[in-house]
Amino acid sequence: MRRFLSLLIAFVMVLSMVPAVSFAAELRAVYWDPVSGADTNTGLTEGSPVKTVAAAYAALSGANEGRIVMLSTLTLTEETTFPACDIPVTVTSKTGKEGIRSSKNILFAGDTTLENITVSLNAASNSTFISAEGHNLTVGEKVTTPAFKSGSTSYYFCLTGSFYADHVDGMHMTVKSGTWRNIYAASYKEAVTGSVKLTVTGGTVPNNIAPCYTANIT
């Protein structure tokens, strides 16, 4: 019995000397240059940026959280859906001046945060949207939204919880900065079911904040 106790004490002492293993969540930064990048690059350093949004999201594979840093401005002329991703992704920029210019809707297929980035229209429109498509969307600090001006009229993006998706259960939209013509927390025009939480702590909305525009909501 004494020998057993001695061996047990020795075993416990050995275990106490083994360093604890830490499984820290990996936050991976990917560098994206829509103008001068190349999808043959890794995207993992500023000197090796990828070119397309598909490559930027693909470079996040295996991470627990993603951060995509834009090194130049992406110009869009057709509706674009950012890729689906099973981890939260922050889209930001190097200086705050880089970002996205579009004349069509921008949709996100996963939980997304925008921060320190410039987002603007490049055409006159009162109904061009950034849509969360039922996912969490955070418009964080330092999101700049310069107006597209036509005559005396200023045009801005609208925000919505869904443009096409029919389910928004548990979605949370947070707005901390920027100017958005309208915010329709649940849906713009498609019928949706579920629940939405909208938190507005900053920014400007010249027109409407509402659950929807023309949609039926259950």
The whole-angstrom separation of Cα 62 and Cα 125 is 39
In residues, how long is the chain? Answer: 218
The whole-angstrom separation of Cα 59 and Cα 47 is 15
Gyration radius (Cα) of the chain, Å: 22
pLDDT given for residue 22 in this prediction: 45
> Given 3-state DSSP classes, what are the helix, strand and coil percentages for the chain, each rounded to the nearest 5?
10, 35, 55
The amino acid that residue 191 corresponds to is A
Q: What is the pLDDT along the chain (218 residues), one digit of tens a residue?
A: 555 445 445 554 544 554 544 445 689 999 999 999 999 999 999 999 999 999 999 999 999 999 999 999 999 999 999 999 999 999 999 999 999 999 999 999 999 999 999 999 999 999 999 999 999 999 999 999 999 999 999 999 999 999 999 999 999 999 999 999 999 999 998 899 999 999 999 999 999 999 999 888 78
State pTM to two decimals: 0.87
The whole-angstrom separation of Cα 91 and Cα 71 is 11
Closest CA to 168 of 197, 201, 193: 193
| Both tokens assigned to 8 | 């047990």
